[in-house]
């Protein structure tokens, strides 16, 4: 029987994160995301030059909302971002996702200088590439992003989140510091494309953007996110260059805040052991997003990270 | 306790009690004050100046300057003594001259040149064609054998009860509200008929037929039928085909035995005015696939030819008629209708070359599309700070000042983008649903009261109209009244209108799952998918 193979005219941009000594940075290695010219893991149909990356989250404040069994994994380093990042490197993360939550005006309200110092410390303590996110408050993030970008200049980081309200400042900062940019939109392929167009209209390379289409955990809008990612990927394979960016999903963040990963056995005896439940939930969410087409997964629990790494290795076998 | 209020510059007086707000008082005095929220204190358009007398001033929405100059918001201000109130030009509902000056629309026969003046004006079988729009009211006095004898227009007096059909449907929910709506529109019609017969000097008794073209809600209110069910699930009007009615019964002051006919509606949101427009543009007789767009508040779109007709209502909103825009106004004298911007220098033209007092639909399209081309507005509709010295930033966001006073705010630009997105995606849905491509549309008819200066090219740059060669477009102005005139003059045309209303397929966009996706894609300048606008793409790349 004839073997029918889909031939796509387009492919996803390949993005390099991190800079080694030769590139003017201090990282021991670089990582690459994207580059695929087929749907995920269809090795018979096209090329998957890079396997999906796993970033592990590091906060610059203690994550008080996290459930105990997740916190316990990082106990001794939770109040030190640099040590926490080092631990993630040792646990096998491809890159570090540093969240500067101390800058939140409703919390510690740390200054640009303070958070920039944290970035510096994390860069010194680790040798893998770095992703840096603000605190989520647009106004504050816009006021600190330039300092963050400058302190990490030359390291080719991935910075975020550029949203419709602040993309001008973020794009300028990423341009000035030579970093790539995460563009975040509320689950809509048109809004994704619009933000990418606006960012590239500022003279920023469309091959240096990563799309965050919004992430929902399994049971919390996952299916919707899945179809949006799939449609984005189909658009890139059809050669829409404003939709051809690698995709990032925040799996850990969406897993560990839901009641299924927080309610213990006394509250929900029928749900089984909480310790396993949370890890399983993160694994299930991550493997779902791998199939959707996510190129970078941001995760939390070391056990889940380990399982997903094995899973990716198996999926990459031809 | 009652007070006497005098309204200037009309010099009209009215006696009111202490619980009557100034807007209602003005209405009772027969003074039109512009407002779009129906007197709820939301729109901030009914500004008036207190010349004398004590009032409990309401200064919502007003600037410091205005407060200093004794301005108040009429709808929320009550008198404590006798008072004199000045209604400034921008708050006045004036006579809508321009609306009857449509390009090919108003061609009154020159009575003096006609063979026998007597035959034409002394006929005892004259008729009246009426177009009742949500915003405007137009009346033609017609001799069915010859043509138009006189044409008059005004704002629909129902505006005082709210600017859009939904507000009026809510107002009509109780019996009195419905009666008030009915009475106010009939009074308006009588006023216009009065003016017509005075001009031609004929007795009202000679008028024996009335032909009405109006949207579904307006037709309901004219016939005194409660329209409030239109906005309730399953959105079915009480009637679409109306039997003959008596002018006397409706209160229209013409011959006692005169009949009133209405052009039938298609659905809740596609009314007789659109059917009338189809007749006026002869779409039911052409083999050419034709797109008909009414750029009014409801933004109806019709696509088809002599074999099929499909329609939808895109709920564009009032911005192409000047509503919902800070300095928006209808197409009348003093409205900015075209705009140019070169090297940070502004030039514009107003209707009647008078002092600019606002911006009409055509002007709004012109301003935004020019500023977009000159990179003062980005693709998302935001002003680019630093791109022009005319941009000022205040607590409400950014504003582009066209004159010292008149401006376009970033909120206005967003409103226009929402409206143009609705119209374009509505066209896209019905065209695609029938398996057509835009390029297969052979002619496009644009109707509406947004001003004769409408620049099609600019509307395409904005992403409002499909990117087709300019020569396929024609601006037809008020097509509704033209259709009504034709139906009045020929029984055959009226039969055809009935057939059109029956054959037209209505597509409810709210249940089309493609619509939402297309709509978000069109909320960008000109569109998220630039390939849909190849000529704009070329202009932008230069």
Domain that holds residue A226: 14-315
Q: DSSP label at A100?
A: -
What does the pLDDT read at residue B441? Answer: 97
What are the tens digits of pLDDT across the range B443-452? 999 998 777 7
Is the predicted pLDDT of residue B95 greater than 60, yes or no? no
| C-alpha distance from residue B87 to each of B46, B71, B321 (Å) | 9, 10, 21
Residues of B with Cβ-Cβ distance to A188 under 8 angstroms: 520
Q: How far apart are CA B267 and CA B236, in angstroms?
A: 7
CA–CA separation, A253 and A161 (whole Å): 15
Q: Which pLDDT does position B117 carry in this prediction?
A: 59
- The residue in chain A having the minimum alpha-carbon distance to the alpha carbon of residue B518 is A190
Distance from CA of B436 to the nearest CA of A (A): 22
The mean per-residue pLDDT over the stretch B285-309 comes to 95
Instruction: Say how many domains are in chain A.
Output: 1
pLDDT at position B96, please? 43
Rounded to an integer, the average pLDDT of B496-506 is 96
What would the pLDDT profile of A241-267 be if each residue is shown by its tens digit?
999 999 999 999 999 999 999 998 999
| Domain presence at residue A1 | no
Question: How confident is the model over A78-134, as pLDDT tens digits?
Answer: 999 999 999 999 999 999 999 999 999 999 999 999 999 999 999 999 999 999 999
Task: Provide the pLDDT for residue A219.
Answer: 93
Helix (H, G, I), strand (E, B) or coil at B444: strand
Give the per-residue pLDDT at B183: 95
DSSP conformational letter for B503 = H
Give the pLDDT of residue B319: 87
Residue B113 has pLDDT above 60, yes or no: no
pLDDT of A252 reads 97
A197 near B CB under 8 A: yes
Separation in Å, CA of B248 to nearest CA in chain A:
56
Report chain A's mean pLDDT, rounded to a whole number. 96
Q: Is the pLDDT of residue B102 over 70?
A: no
Q: Retrieve residue A243's tokens.
A: 């939709």
- CATH number of the domain at A66, please: 3.20.20.20
Give residue-wise pLDDT tens across range B456-471: 999 999 999 999 999 9
Band of pLDDT at residue B118, cut at 50, 70 and 90: low
Interface contact B516, partner A, CB < 8 A: no
Judged against a pLDDT cut of 50, whether residue B136 lies above it is answered with yes
Distance of CA B183 to the CA centre of its chain: 20
Residue numbers in B near A194 (CB within 8 A): 379-380, 523-524, 528
- Within 10 A of A235 (CB to CB), how many other CB atoms are there? 18
Question: What is d(CA B467, CA B67) in angstroms, rounded to the nearest whole number?
Answer: 47
Give CA–CA dist A217/A284, Å, rounded: 9
Strands B245-246 and B2-8: unpaired
Instruction: Pick the residue from chain B with its C-alpha nearest to A198.
Output: B379
- CA distance to partner chain A, nearest, from residue B427 (Å): 18
pLDDT of residue B290: 98
The pLDDT confidence band at residue B92, using thresholds 50, 70 and 90, is: confident
Q: Give the C-alpha separation, B80 to B391, whole Å.
A: 42
pLDDT of residue B155: 80
Residue A7 lies in a domain: no
For residue B395, the model assigns a pLDDT of 82
Residues B471-497: b if buried by 16+ CB within 10 A, e if exposed: ebbebbbbbbbbbbbbbbbeeebbebb
Q: What is the pLDDT of residue A135?
A: 96
Residues of A in contact with B524 (CB under 8 A): 190, 194, 197
CB B129 within 8 A of CB B140: yes
Facing B380 at nearest CB: one of A188, A189, A198: A198
Residue A62 pLDDT: 95
pTM above 0.90, yes or no: no
**Which of B378, B379, B520 lies at the smallest CB-CB distance from A190?**
B520
Asked whether residue A221 is assigned to any structural domain, the reply reads yes
Residue A193 lies in a domain: yes
What pLDDT is stored for residue B394 in this prediction? 86
Q: What are phi and psi of B447, to 5 degrees?
A: -110, 160
Look at residue B166 in the predicted model and tell me its pLDDT.
Answer: 86
| A interface test, pick of B520, B523, B532 with most A CB neighbours within 10 Å | B520
Distances (CA, A) of A244 to A187, A209, A229, A293, B407: 16, 9, 11, 12, 39
Pairing outcome for strands B78-79 and B55-56 = antiparallel
In a domain, A4, yes or no: no
B376 pLDDT higher than 90: yes
* Mean pLDDT calculated for residue range B290-307: 94
pLDDT given for residue B104 in this prediction: 33
Mean pLDDT of B33-41: 72
The pLDDT value recorded for residue B25 is 86
Whether residue A256 is contained in a domain is answered as yes
- Are β-strands B290-294 and B443-447 bridged in parallel, bridged antiparallel, or unpaired? parallel
State which residue of chain B sits closest to A241, comparing Cα positions. Answer: B529
The model's pLDDT over A179-236, given as tens digits with 9 standing for 90+, comes to: 999 999 999 999 999 999 999 999 999 999 999 999 999 999 999 999 999 999 999 9
B377 secondary structure, DSSP code: B
pLDDT value for A206: 97
Q: Which of A111, A94, A11 is nearest to A53 (CA)?
A: A94
pLDDT tens-digit series, residues B380-396: 999 999 999 999 998 87
CA distance A193 to chain B (A): 7
Smallest Cα distance from B523 to chain A, Å: 9
Q: Which of B379, B521, B523 lies nearest to residue A198, judging by beta carbons?
A: B379
Strands B71-73, A209-212: pairing is unpaired
The nearest alpha carbon in chain A to B381 belongs to A198
Is residue A214 a contact partner of residue A232, using CB atoms and an 8 Å limit? no
* pLDDT, greater one: A71 or B111: A71
Give residue B94's pLDDT: 54
Which of the four pLDDT bands, split at 50, 70 and 90, describes residue B365? very high
Cα-to-chain-centroid distance, residue B297: 6
Residue B159 has a pLDDT of 81
Name the pLDDT band for B38 (thresholds 50, 70, 90): low
Are A190 and B378 an interchain contact pair (Cβ–Cβ within 8 Å)? no
The reply to whether A6 falls in a domain is: no
What is the structure's pLDDT at B105? 36
Partners of residue B304 on adjacent β-strands:
B290, B309
Mean pLDDT of all residues in B36-56: 82
Interfacial A residues in 151-170 facing B (CB < 8 Å):
164
Q: Which of B336, B459, B457 is closest to B407 using CA atoms?
A: B336
* ipTM given for this complex: 0.85
Mean of pLDDT values over A15-43: 96
Question: Is residue A80, in this structure, part of any structural domain at all?
Answer: yes
B514 in contact with A, Cβ within 8 Å = no
How far away is chain B from the Cα of A254, in angstroms, using its nearest Cα?
Answer: 26
Mean pLDDT of B520-536: 96
């Amino acid at each position: 029987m004839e073997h029918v193979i889909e031939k796509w005219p387009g492919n996803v941009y390949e993005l390099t994160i991190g800079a080694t000594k030769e590139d003017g940075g201090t990282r021991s290695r670089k990582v690459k995301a994207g580059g695929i010219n087929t749907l995920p893991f269809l090795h018979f149909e096209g090329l998957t030059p890079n396997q999906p990356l796993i970033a592990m989250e590091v906060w610059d404040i203690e994550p008080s909302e996290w459930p105990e069994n997740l916190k316990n994994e990082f106990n001794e380093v939770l109040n030190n971002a640099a040590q926490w990042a080092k631990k993630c490197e040792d646990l096998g993360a491809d890159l570090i996702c540093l969240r500067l939550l101390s800058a939140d005006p409703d919390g510690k309200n740390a200054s640009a200088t303070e958070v920039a110092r944290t970035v510096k410390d994390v860069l010194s303590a680790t040798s893998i590439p770095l992703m840096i996110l603000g605190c989520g408050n647009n106004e504050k993030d816009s006021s600190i992003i330039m300092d963050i970008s400058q302190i990490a200049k030359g390291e080719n980081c991935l910075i975020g989140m550029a949203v419709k309200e602040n993309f001008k400042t973020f794009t300028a900062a990423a341009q000035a510091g030579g970093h790539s940019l995460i563009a975040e939109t509320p689950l809509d392929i048109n809004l994704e494309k619009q933000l990418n167009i606006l960012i590239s209209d500022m003279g920023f390379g469309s091959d240096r953007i990563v799309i965050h289409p919004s992430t929902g955990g399994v049971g919390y809008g996952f299916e919707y996110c899945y179809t949006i990612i799939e449609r984005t990927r189909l658009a890139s394979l059809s050669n829409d260059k404003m939709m051809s960016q690698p995709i990032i999903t925040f799996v850990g963040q969406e897993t560990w805040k839901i009641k299924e990963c927080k309610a213990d056995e006394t509250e929900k005896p029928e749900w089984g052991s909480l310790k396993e439940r949370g890890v399983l939930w993160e694994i299930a969410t991550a493997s779902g997003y791998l199939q959707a087409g996510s190129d970078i997964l941001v995760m939390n629990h070391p056990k889940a990270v380990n399982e997903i790494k094995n899973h990716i290795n198996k999926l990459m076998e031809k | 306790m009652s007070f006497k209020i005098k309204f200037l510059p009309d010099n009209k007086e009215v006696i009111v009690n202490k619980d009557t707000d100034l807007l209602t008082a003005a209405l009772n005095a027969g003074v039109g004050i512009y407002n779009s929220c129906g007197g709820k204190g939301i729109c901030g358009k009914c500004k008036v100046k207190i010349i004398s007398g004590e009032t409990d001033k309401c200064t919502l929405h007003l600037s410091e300057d205005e407060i200093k100059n004794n301005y108040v918001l009429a709808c929320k201000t009550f008198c404590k003594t006798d008072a004199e109130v000045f209604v400034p030009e921008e708050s006045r509902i004036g006579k809508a001259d321009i609306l009857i000056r449509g390009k090919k629309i108003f061609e009154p026969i020159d009575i003096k040149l006609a063979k026998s003046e007597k035959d034409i004006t002394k006929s005892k079988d004259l008729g009246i064609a009426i177009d009742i729009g949500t915003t405007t009211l137009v009346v033609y006095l017609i001799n069915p054998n010859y043509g138009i004898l006189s044409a008059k227009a005004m704002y629909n007096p129902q505006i005082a009860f709210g600017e859009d059909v939904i507000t009026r449907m809510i107002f009509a929910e109780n019996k009195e509200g419905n009666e008030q709506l009915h009475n106010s529109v009939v009074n308006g019609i009588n006023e216009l008929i009065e003016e017509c017969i005075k001009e031609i000097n004929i007795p009202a008794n000679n008028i024996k037929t009335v032909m009405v073209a109006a949207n579904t809600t307006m037709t309901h209110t004219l016939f005194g039928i409660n329209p409030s069910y239109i906005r309730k699930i399953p959105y079915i009007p009480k009637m679409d085909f109306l039997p003959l009615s008596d002018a006397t019964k409706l209160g229209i002051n013409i011959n006692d035995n005169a009949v009133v006919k209405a052009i039938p509606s298609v659905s809740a949101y596609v009314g007789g005015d659109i059917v009338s427009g189809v007749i006026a543009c002869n779409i039911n007789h052409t083999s050419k696939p034709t797109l008909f767009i009414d750029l009014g508040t409801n933004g109806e779109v019709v696509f088809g030819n002599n074999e099929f007709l499909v329609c939808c209502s895109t709920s564009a909103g009032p911005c192409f008629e000047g509503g919902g825009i800070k300095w928006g106004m209808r197409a009348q004298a003093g409205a900015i209708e075209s705009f140019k911007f070169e090297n940070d220098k502004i030039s514009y033209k107003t209707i009647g070359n008078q002092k600019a007092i606002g911006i009409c639909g055509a002007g709004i399209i012109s301003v935004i599309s020019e500023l977009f081309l000159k990179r003062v507005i980005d693709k998302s509709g935001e002003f680019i700070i630093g791109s022009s010295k005319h941009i000022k930033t205040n607590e409400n966001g950014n504003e582009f000042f066209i004159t010292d006073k008149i401006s376009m705010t970033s909120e206005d630009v967003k409103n226009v983008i929402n409206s143009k997105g609705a119209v374009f995606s509505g066209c896209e849905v019905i065209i695609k649903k029938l398996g057509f491509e835009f390029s297969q549309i052979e002619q496009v008819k644009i109707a509406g009261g947004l001003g004769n200066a409408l620049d099609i090219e600019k509307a395409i740059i904005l992403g409002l109209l499909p990117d087709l060669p300019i020569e396929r477009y024609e601006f037809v102005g008020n097509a509704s009244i033209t259709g009504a005139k034709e139906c009045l003059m020929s029984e055959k045309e009226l039969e055809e209108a009935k057939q059109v209303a029956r054959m037209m397929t209505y597509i409810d966009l709210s249940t089309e799952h493609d619509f939402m996706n297309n709509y978000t894609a069109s909320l960008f300048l000109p569109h998220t998918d630039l390939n849909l606008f190849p000529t704009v793409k070329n202009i932008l790349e230069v």
